[in-house]
Structure 1
Amino acid sequence: MDFRQLRYFVAVAEALSFSEAARRLHVSQPPLSVQIKALEEELGSALLERSRHHVALTPAGELFLDKARAALANLDQAREVVRQVASGEAGEIRVGFTASVPMQDIFPRAVHAFREAHRNAKLELVHMSTGQQLQQLEHGEIDIAFLRPSPQFRPPASIAVREVLADRLVAVLPVAHPLAASQHDIDINALSGERFLLFPRGLGCGLFDHATTLCNRAGFAPNVAQEAREATTIIGLVASGAGISVLPQIYARTGIPGVAYLPIAGPDAASRILMAHRAEALSPIMKRFVGYF
């Protein structure tokens, strides 16, 4: 039994005429009759009653017609799914991102536009650190990553990257700090005697390495008084007077009171967000997604 036989049978059952079914199917009548007969022999039951001027469904044929229609409908749906996946209209994609990425205007706008244009696609967004994303990319557990790496980051040959967003690091100070009212970019040297509040290095976050690199290039090692896993926690601790921090400028959007954000002077304070994926060819749905950035 094959799908061609099912189509032939449904055509004859709906037309109740071999000649009309052959016309609709654009085939000659003898091969059509042969295929229906072969189907009946395989099933071991007559599906049609035939006379010179009359064709009718047998009881078995009436029951089989419903099943044949359902099978053909499932086949058509399967073909459409395959077509959509091949064209990039449908499929699954898993995207990792660091905490600050959704705060950038382009990210929510691009994700929303992609979802609106690809209603049959499954897009899963996963929050994780830069280090975690790189590991999962290597293992094929995510498809696209949005990283904020340290300045020393060099992607392995297996990973392709492209810069999609630029940002700067700022000093986050309590509003009562003597430097908080400055109208100029702050030199990182001015923070050498401060207590730093940073992300844990083991978190795999590029911001720890970036902040310590800035300090080291200025000739001092930061006094890390406390670590916290969330930027909003760090900002709240700064507001409480527990110390100062170095974070991307985008975090000024959190609106937490009691803190001031001063841009850090020099090119080394430039921060970037990279979109990364495995260097092998992108799937059709991945090509469509990255096109929004």
Structure 2
Amino acid sequence: MFDFRQLRYFIAVAEELSFTRAAQRLHISQPPLSQQIQSLEQDLGVRLLERNKRNVALTEPGQLFLEQARQILLQADEARHLVSEAAAGFSGQLRLAYTVSVSFHPALPQALLRFGRNAPNVRMQLSEMYTEPQFSALRAGQIDVGFVRNEPAHEADARALRLEVIDREPLLLALPSGHPLATRRRLRMSDVAGQPFVAQPRELAATLYDRLVQLAAKSDFHPQIRQHAQQLTGLLALVSAGIGLALVPTTMRAVRLAGVSYVPLQEPDAHLLLAVASRIDDPSPVLAQFLSTVADLKAARGVPIIVPD
């Protein structure tokens, strides 16, 4: 069976119509070139070239084979390029999950934009998912990477997953604009002890719910949850209606809802983690390329990615 070298040799002779010029073009001597062309013709069982001491010409089968030889080499080059792109993580698929609150954080769109420019041939599959289900989905191989809001609580998850911390995002109190504390520059949790709160159900958003309980406990009270809402934007609607206060990430300032004021908390531990999680044993080149993009983005910023006041 003929090989790629014979095809390249044949194309050179067919285009130059000269064994001498073809040999010079290929940087080889003429005898091995002639031997390879003869071997190719014997393998195919046809004469591809008519030659004498003065002239070389393509036969009709030679004309047809020249077109096919060019196509074969072109397809081989394309295959080589595709394989190289896949090995480098520039093609393939990436299944990415993120919590709802992360959709308001600039890290997510910035990472997607930069990765899209670096690896435009990667098919992205995006899905919203709370943090704990992301850990389970990562271990089950259902997603490749996730933007999460907490470290794994279970030892098995902690052993199987790696986390790249992007930000420790400050938390705010969202208050009705008419609230007596709404104009304060900063608040302590003790300032709102006994006030009604609204929160997401713990079974859906344990991270933020637990942070509310922990911060309140340090100020010697337990938050009174008057109403639940499944989405953060739903919480803000309840705040606007005067039903209660809400603890939210700083990036929720991007939601400009009439009747809602945001006030930073003074507590130094009033923050929410943002990290990228993936399986330690995942060998995917696409995942490696995405994690490299995130690392570059973090290094380029040099500081936590926070939305300004």
Q: 1:9/1:180 Cα in 2 relative to 1: closer, same or farther (>3 Å)?
A: same
Structure 2 unmatched runs, 5+: 299-309
Contact in 2 for aligned 1:188/1:218 (Cα 8 Å): yes
**1:25 CA drift (Å):** 1.8
What is the identity percentage for the equivalent residue pairs of Structure 1 and Structure 2?
A: 37
Q: d(CA) in 2 for partners of 1:127 and 1:42?
A: 58
User: Equivalent residue for 2:57?
Assistant: 56
Q: Per-residue CA shift, 1:152-205, capped at 9, x if unaligned? A: 6876122111221122222222223333233431325724341x3222323255
**1:11 CA drift (Å):** 1.6
After TM superposition, list the pairs within 5 Å mapping 1:203-282 onto structure 2. 203-204=204-205, 206-280=207-281
Contact in 1 for aligned 2:249/2:271 (Cα 8 Å): no
After TM superposition, list the pairs within 5 Å mapping 1:19-58 onto structure 2. 19-58=20-59
Q: d(CA) in 2 for partners of 1:61 and 1:129?
A: 64
Contact in 2 for aligned 1:188/1:214 (Cα 8 Å): no
1:286 alignment partner, one of 279, 286, 290: 290
Contact in 2 for aligned 1:47/1:61 (Cα 8 Å): yes
What is the SS of the residue equivalent to 1:7?
helix
Q: How many matched pairs? A: 292
Q: Per-residue CA shift, 1:7-48, capped at 9, x if unaligned? A: 122122211222322222223333333333333333333322
**1:54 CA drift (Å):** 2.3
Q: Per-residue CA shift, 1:68-92, capped at 9, x if unaligned? A: 1111111112222333444455554
**1:239 CA drift (Å):** 0.7
Q: Per-residue CA shift, 1:72-119, capped at 9, x if unaligned? A: 111112222333444455554443322333433444334333433444
**1:217 CA drift (Å):** 4.6
What is the SS of the residue equivalent to 2:174?
strand
Contact in 1 for aligned 2:152/2:158 (Cα 8 Å): no
Residue type of the alignment partner of 2:60: P
Q: d(CA) in 2 for partners of 1:277 and 1:72?
A: 39
State TM-score, norm by structure 1.
0.84
State TM-score, norm by structure 2.
0.80
Contact in 1 for aligned 2:195/2:245 (Cα 8 Å): no
User: Equivalent residue for 1:96?
Assistant: 97
Q: Per-residue CA shift, 1:203-235, capped at 9, x if unaligned? A: 255222322333345444434333322211210
**1:147 CA drift (Å):** 1.2
Structure 1 unmatched runs, 5+: none
Residue type of the alignment partner of 1:37: Q
User: Equivalent residue for 2:166?
Assistant: 164
Q: 1:264/1:151 Cα in 2 relative to 1: closer, same or farther (>3 Å)?
A: farther
Residue type of the alignment partner of 1:115: G
User: Equivalent residue for 2:306?
Assistant: none
Q: 1:23/1:38 Cα in 2 relative to 1: closer, same or farther (>3 Å)?
A: same
Q: Per-residue CA shift, 1:44-71, capped at 9, x if unaligned? A: 3332223332222222221222121111
Q: d(CA) in 1 for partners of 2:30 and 2:151?
A: 73
